[in-house]
Amino acid sequence: MKKICIDIGHAAGTGATGNGLEEHGVAVQVAAHLARYLRERGQSVSVIDYPHLSNAADLNAAVRAVNAGNYDLSVSLHCDSSDNPDACGAHVCHHRTYHKNGTFRDSVQGKALASAIAGPLCKLLPGRADPVQARPDRKKKLSGLQVLRATRPPAVLCECSFITNANDAEMMKNRPELIAQAIGAGILDYIDNGH
């Protein structure tokens, strides 16, 4: 049994919107299904959510909670958005550290977890050419996603497809359990492979 943290990626009203949906609300629905899916398969799961905080306070509180919880892995749930309504598909991010000499080091376990989740999630919600992404990327070496950079356990950030795409939003609205099951299948694959 692993101790798993699911982070609702934004406070209420602070994330992306589109097609009558809001990022926090979508993440709450996916998280509920994901927690149930993983618990039914013998995992210990906590859901972290600070809906009434500002976005910055939510992020800081989530990082503190993840680091205090002695978790084996952390999954932060988000929705992507774009000005292009045709942009679609999910992707999963992991942390990358750049060194002064130009080399970099990926979080080995974070990358393995991201790859395991991206397989089933991006099969369900295709469209991205790069379903597994390192953060920061080469263009922004000094920045990075705090939920990946500042957390102790292996961590990933799941962009559960584009809230601004009508087809993706339809899945978010009517079948969030399918998104959760895809993420959960990836997590279990990661665990089953000895991580």
Q: Give the model confidence (pLDDT) of 89-130 as tens digits.
A: 999 999 998 888 888 899 999 999 999 999 999 999 999 999
Residue with tokens 């990661």: 190
**pLDDT above 60 for 143:** no
- Which residue did the predictor score with more confidence, 81 or 148? 81
Kindly report the pTM of this predicted structure.
0.95
pLDDT single digits (tens) 34-88: 999 999 999 999 999 999 999 899 999 999 999 999 999 999 999 999 999 999 9
**pLDDT above 80 for 144:** no
Read off the DSSP letter of residue 45.
Answer: E
150, 10 Cβ separation under 8 angstroms? no
Phi and psi angles of residue 133, each rounded to the nearest 5 degrees, phi first:
-130, 140
Phi and psi angles of residue 79, each rounded to the nearest 5 degrees, phi first:
-125, 135
Q: Where are the alpha helices (DSSP H) in 69-154?
A: 108-124, 146-149
Phi and psi angles of residue 49, each rounded to the nearest 5 degrees, phi first:
-150, 130
